[in-house]
Amino acid sequence: MAAPTARLVAACPDRPGIIAAATAFVADHGGNVVDLQQHTDHHDGAFFLRLEFEVDAFDVDRAGFAPAFAPVADRFDMRWRLGHSDHRPRVGLLASKQPHCVHDLLHRWREGDLAIEVPVLVSNHPDHEAAAEWFGVEFRHLPIVDGDKATQEAQVRRVLREHGVELVVLARYMQVLSAEMCDEWSERIINIHHSFLPSFQGARPYHQAHERGVKIIGVTAHYATAVLDDGPIIEQDVIRVSHRDDVDDLRRKGRDLEVAVLARAVRAHIGDRTLVYGRRTVVFD
Amino acid sequence: MAAPTARLVAACPDRPGIIAAATAFVADHGGNVVDLQQHTDHHDGAFFLRLEFEVDAFDVDRAGFAPAFAPVADRFDMRWRLGHSDHRPRVGLLASKQPHCVHDLLHRWREGDLAIEVPVLVSNHPDHEAAAEWFGVEFRHLPIVDGDKATQEAQVRRVLREHGVELVVLARYMQVLSAEMCDEWSERIINIHHSFLPSFQGARPYHQAHERGVKIIGVTAHYATAVLDDGPIIEQDVIRVSHRDDVDDLRRKGRDLEVAVLARAVRAHIGDRTLVYGRRTVVFD
Amino acid sequence: MAAPTARLVAACPDRPGIIAAATAFVADHGGNVVDLQQHTDHHDGAFFLRLEFEVDAFDVDRAGFAPAFAPVADRFDMRWRLGHSDHRPRVGLLASKQPHCVHDLLHRWREGDLAIEVPVLVSNHPDHEAAAEWFGVEFRHLPIVDGDKATQEAQVRRVLREHGVELVVLARYMQVLSAEMCDEWSERIINIHHSFLPSFQGARPYHQAHERGVKIIGVTAHYATAVLDDGPIIEQDVIRVSHRDDVDDLRRKGRDLEVAVLARAVRAHIGDRTLVYGRRTVVFD
Amino acid sequence: MAAPTARLVAACPDRPGIIAAATAFVADHGGNVVDLQQHTDHHDGAFFLRLEFEVDAFDVDRAGFAPAFAPVADRFDMRWRLGHSDHRPRVGLLASKQPHCVHDLLHRWREGDLAIEVPVLVSNHPDHEAAAEWFGVEFRHLPIVDGDKATQEAQVRRVLREHGVELVVLARYMQVLSAEMCDEWSERIINIHHSFLPSFQGARPYHQAHERGVKIIGVTAHYATAVLDDGPIIEQDVIRVSHRDDVDDLRRKGRDLEVAVLARAVRAHIGDRTLVYGRRTVVFD
């Protein structure tokens, strides 16, 4: 059994001495670094760090980390957060009718494949109620009544708050979120969207992809922002297709890809491997 | 040593009996089918066929094929062409300054990896002269003088015609072709372009891709049409990238991908595996 | 909605006229070929065919196909089988303790992603009972008592027979099957095994792979034969790993790969896309 | 233009404070860390580090690094080496008859795609003489006379020494190296070998792979050791194949894979991204 670790994820303007200061802080307090990845983007002069260290002999408790680390953080103008390997983030799932992503995430949760808690599954449709019961997650059916999306979203946000949700995963949730909701869980809402080469405007992208004879279809997972499908990219993947694939085949292959890409994006997030910087996400290995 | 084969590539409206008629024609004349791929697109009611047969005992000569096959072709309203495995298509290369695609194609030609002839390499820059000499291909430097692109393109087309070029490969040729030139070698000009997820408008796509933090970059090979980078897709591929890749790394990975995708597209074309249908290319395996 | 189709899968010694005869038979009886893939292996002189045709106007019923087709089959010494797109094969699942493959296949069955029936799930452990109930599949717990594997296998085979199982899928079933059982469901038992580069003898392959620093791990799906993990290969895939992946990470990535490769192998089988020839499986696209 | 950097690559038993000490050393001497990757293998208690830092303000010169760094290295029992981004390693190429890898590496060298010098190309066959002249590399034809491999290898080693070769790349060199030669350039000879799933003993692996119906073929680049094809793995990759690929197609696809995998392995080595530890190679991203 691996010892519990803390993961410090940080970004700041580049200058000499940052790693030395951060690792000296850890070592001075009895921590042992087990994985460190650091990268400097020359173009932006930006420094990115993920530092994972064993905490069994670390003499600063979690509540005390921020004040203890403040001198280092302040000196380098650091934006940082700290996660812990023994903390299972509370993940709220939002879904519409399609089951593939919901089902995969609940299965991974139950089997311990993803170190998360899933306190609630919210949907604007009733379809997932039985699955929720089977997996042992509370189900909240919050339909959009009379087209009043604002009221429904307010209900959704209340439910997420009541359940202490730290990460929202849109598991094929076919509603556009308001800018306010994206702000409330900023960099903590993961969504996926189709990615085609070339990209297609308008409706029925799989039909267009088929008509255009694309050889590859793709999926992108991103942090939701106010601009639809434009948030910082966390993970992408593609699959080869051919003229033998009809539109239903494309959809089916797309579903398998959505499942895989979304699970990998969630894993990166809960492993404190993601760092949003401007319009992009630095994803540490 | 494999026996020489002919490859019949055909498209027509779908109806019963097409394959039976085509294969009976081949069998009745002593041909032996060694590879047949047929697909019907239900959505379009379109029938696609690639039929490869050994010709050593085939009693119709090449000049006589069209009239002999006409009854079958007419009966099914077939658009078709016939290629032969022992015919090495004459490929004209067009390039600007970058050497990677030119070099790879010439190397494959010389080593017999691609069953082509390369009678001429045309460039608007002088850079490839020595390479052309080394590989034993005629080099024609046709610069654009005083911005007169039309005159230069007319020269290019004349050179291609003089060399009996059957297939034009744009091996990083940074000039836009006129609609007239695309028409003259319709479905016989292969080009490549970057493909990003998401796609980027405007200049310096690699810079945009880096800034946007894309995790995958791609390349598409297509048949050139009058609309830039919009022709029927022949082949696509992608490669994973990360925040550790700076813009130069993206360019370098993109080059390797361009080489691979362009060579595969040329191989598909010369193997009579491509069939343009509307805005797409059916590519048989 | 696509019309129902029949799929003729056949192998025979190569000679001229086979396709013409087969497609003429289909056309003469009112069938319309919608997808045909044929390949000749020159080295072996072997002819492989998959011919899919619409049967709504086909004037031979299913019981009558064999006698009607016999003249063609006999003339070319053909080994063949006929499947139908509207037939949902009865799949018996065998599993031990691990849930990932069982769960994925049951989910795909229920969602209609795989056109199968799953009448029974058999296990030598009780773990999957609740899952079976939830998915609505009969569960049979058949433990190995006092190390008597032969008796347990006899029970398993009886249960599979009673449920009319046409395809057996070993969804992480950790028991070696007898040659007799492999014979009874010859070319109708699908199993998966690890595939490493290089391969490792002996126990704990993931430990060995980690120690050896492999950069890729793989999974192979095959038809079970009397020689363990040596049957004809249906599908393979790999995933990249690195020194950052500990043994548990390798196992986790291996599980995701097992799920994907097994589902693709099952899909190929039920789509009548596989044809065993000697030690190999020809898999039509 | 990026500033020149030094790369410290190190392994030692894990204990707290290593990174803090190493980065403090760099910072104290005016270096600025631009990329750091560290990983601890819990199973082995082993610590791996790659630390890249800008040297323009670094106040220790190259000759002085070892004594200056000795206190840190000694304290942690560190095995380490230091490379520099502005040093172009002298690469000696060994090849037999096949040109694809030789040609690709020489092309990458000339185009600046690989930051190396290639002072000499040695072959036991005369085939590459003209190519060597064209690329501007000295060619040494050292045939094996009367089966005397030892004498020829002694000549090869002398030539490599005379040219100050730091890295030996076996670009399809079909001779087995002696243990002595592997020792002389220990962890500095890169070779490639086929990797099949399953692996095949004996001759003609592509024939066996075809007969067995493998769906994937692979290539592995490794550091040569006295045991053939068993050295620490640097890079691996695979490509999908099908029953349509005959043995020549497998060979051709294998060649493209060899070119790609070998170039990536060389790039990893010269970028000081490889660290041999026991039987494996840690490859930093």
Say yes or no for a CB contact (<8 Å) between C43 and D210: yes
Q: Which of residues 218-277 of B touch D (CB under 8 A)?
A: 242, 244, 252, 255-256, 260
Give me the catalytic one of A127, A229, A237, A249: A229
Give yes or no for residue D30 having a pLDDT over 60. yes
C236: chain D residues, CB-CB within 8 Å: 197, 214-216
Nearest to D35 among A35, A40, A285 (CB): A40
Give me the catalytic one of B14, B41, B127, B229: B229
Average pLDDT over residues D36-57: 94
Q: Three-state DSSP class for B88?
A: coil
Say yes or no for a CB contact (<8 Å) between A99 and C111: yes
CATH number at residue D9: 3.30.70.260
Q: Which of C275, C234, C256 is closest to C37 using CA atoms?
A: C275
* d(CA C152, nearest CA chain B) in Å: 45
pLDDT at A200: 77
Say yes or no for a CB contact (<8 Å) between B113 and D260: no
Give me the catalytic one of C14, C229, C237, C249: C229
Say yes or no for a CB contact (<8 Å) between C42 and B34: yes
Residue where a domain terminates, one of C84, C106, C122: C84
In a mutagenesis test of the C interface, which of D43, D197, D245, D250 is the best target, namely the one with the most C β-carbons within 10 Å? D197
Reported confidence tier of residue A199, pLDDT bands at 50, 70, 90: confident
Say yes or no for a CB contact (<8 Å) between C103 and A107: yes
Say yes or no for a CB contact (<8 Å) between B41 and A246: yes
* d(CA B199, nearest CA chain A) in Å: 7
Same domain for A234 and A249, yes or no, is yes
Strands C46-54 and C32-41: antiparallel
**Which tokens go with B111?**
């080593």
pLDDT, tens only, B164-194: 999 999 999 999 999 999 999 999 999 999 8
Task: Give the residue on C whose Cα is nearest the Cα of D44.
Answer: C211
* d(CA C200, nearest CA chain B) in Å: 29
In a mutagenesis test of the C interface, which of D41, D50, D216 is the best target, namely the one with the most C β-carbons within 10 Å? D216
Residue where a domain terminates, one of B48, B68, B84: B84
Q: Read off the DSSP letter of residue C48.
A: E
Same domain for A71 and A129, yes or no, is no
Task: Give the residue on D whose Cα is nearest the Cα of A33.
Answer: D16
Same domain for D67 and D166, yes or no, is no
b/e per residue C20-38 (b: at least 16 CB within 10 A):
bbbbbbbbebebbbbbbbb
Same domain for B264 and B132, yes or no, is yes
C101: chain A residues, CB-CB within 8 Å: none
Give yes or no for residue D196 having a pLDDT over 90. no
pLDDT at A78: 98
pLDDT at D178: 97
Same domain for B58 and B104, yes or no, is no
Say yes or no for a CB contact (<8 Å) between C107 and A103: yes
Nearest to A252 among C35, C113, C285 (CB): C113
Average pLDDT over residues D223-242: 93
Say yes or no for a CB contact (<8 Å) between D280 and C211: yes
Which distant-in-sequence residues (6+ apart) come within 8 Å of C222 by Cβ? C190, C191, C192, C193, C229, C230, C231, C232, C233, C234, C281
Say yes or no for a CB contact (<8 Å) between B213 and A280: yes
- Chain A, chain B: beta-carbon pairs less than 8 Å apart: 100
Chains that touch D (3 or more CB pairs under 8 A): A, B, C
Cβ-in-10-Å burial (0-12, 13-18, 19+) of B42 comes to middle
Task: Give the residue on A whose Cα is nearest the Cα of B265.
Answer: A215
Touching check for D87 and chain B: CB below 8 Å?
A: no
- Mean predicted lDDT score pLDDT of chain A: 95
pLDDT at D201: 73
Answer whether D122's CB lies under 8 Å from D132's CB.
Answer: no
pLDDT at A1: 52
Same domain for D202 and D216, yes or no, is yes
Chains that touch B (3 or more CB pairs under 8 A): A, C, D
Q: Which of C53, C21, C96 is closest to C272 using CA atoms?
A: C53
For the entire predicted model, the pTM comes to: 0.96
* d(CA B63, nearest CA chain C) in Å: 23
Same domain for C28 and C44, yes or no, is yes
Q: Read off the DSSP letter of residue B4.
A: P
Say yes or no for a CB contact (<8 Å) between D34 and A23: no
pLDDT at C189: 98
Say yes or no for a CB contact (<8 Å) between A213 and B244: no
CA distance B181 to A210: 28
Average pLDDT over residues D112-125: 97
Q: Which of C127, C93, C85 is closest to C110 using CA atoms?
A: C93
Give yes or no for residue D1 having a pLDDT over 60. no
Q: Which of residues 37-76 of B touch C (CB under 8 A)?
A: 37-40, 42, 57
Residue where a domain terminates, one of A51, A84, A117: A84
pLDDT, tens only, A211-252: 999 999 999 999 999 888 889 999 999 999 999 999 999 999
Same domain for C247 and C211, yes or no, is yes
Q: Which of D18, D70, D23 is closest to D40 using CA atoms?
A: D18
Number of domains in chain D: 2
A40: chain D residues, CB-CB within 8 Å: 33-35
* d(CA B229, nearest CA chain A) in Å: 10
Say yes or no for a CB contact (<8 Å) between A279 and B211: yes
Same domain for A178 and A254, yes or no, is yes
- Which structural domain range is residue C213 located in? 90-283
Give yes or no for residue D112 having a pLDDT over 90. yes
Give yes or no for residue D12 having a pLDDT over 70. yes
Same domain for B190 and B149, yes or no, is yes
pLDDT, tens only, B23-67: 999 999 999 999 999 999 988 899 999 999 999 999 999 999 999
Question: Which residues of chain C register pLDDT less than 50?
Answer: none
Q: Which of A48, A47, A46, A66 is closest to A6 using CA atoms?
A: A66
pLDDT, tens only, A88-136: 999 999 999 999 999 999 999 999 999 999 999 999 999 999 999 999 9
Task: Give the residue on C whose Cα is nearest the Cα of A260.
Answer: C256
Say yes or no for a CB contact (<8 Å) between B260 and D255: no
Is B249 among the residues known to form the active site? no
Q: Which of residues 91-150 of B touch C (CB under 8 A)?
A: none
D113: chain B residues, CB-CB within 8 Å: 252, 255
Q: Which of D87, D32, D29, D34 is closest to D60 using CA atoms?
A: D29
CATH number at residue B133: 3.40.50.170
Chains that touch C (3 or more CB pairs under 8 A): A, B, D
C212: chain D residues, CB-CB within 8 Å: 233, 279-280
Q: Which of D279, D218, D285 is closest to D46 using CA atoms?
A: D279
Task: For residue C64, count other CB atoms closer than 10 A to its CB.
Answer: 11
Nearest to D36 among A14, A15, A19 (CB): A19
* d(CA B239, nearest CA chain A) in Å: 10
Task: Give the residue on D whose Cα is nearest the Cα of A46.
Answer: D34
What amino acid is encoded at B30 in this protein? Answer: G
pLDDT at A215: 95
* d(CA D46, nearest CA chain A) in Å: 10
Answer whether C90's CB lies under 8 Å from C164's CB.
Answer: yes
Strands A117-123 and A90-95: parallel
B134: chain D residues, CB-CB within 8 Å: 134
* d(CA D192, nearest CA chain C) in Å: 13
Say yes or no for a CB contact (<8 Å) between A16 and D24: no
Same domain for A95 and A206, yes or no, is yes
pLDDT, tens only, A47-77: 999 999 999 999 999 999 999 999 999 999 9
Average pLDDT over residues D71-100: 97
Say yes or no for a CB contact (<8 Å) between A34 and D40: yes
Q: Which of C103, C126, C5, C1 is closest to C62 using CA atoms?
A: C5
Touching check for C213 and chain D: CB below 8 Å?
A: yes
Average pLDDT over residues A248-273: 97
**Higher confidence at residue B200 or residue B176?**
B176
Q: Which residues pair with B46 in a beta bridge?
A: B13, B41
pLDDT at C199: 79
Same domain for C98 and C60, yes or no, is no
Say yes or no for a CB contact (<8 Å) between D40 and A30: no
Share of chain A above pLDDT 90, in %: 90
CA distance C263 to C105: 7
pLDDT at B1: 52
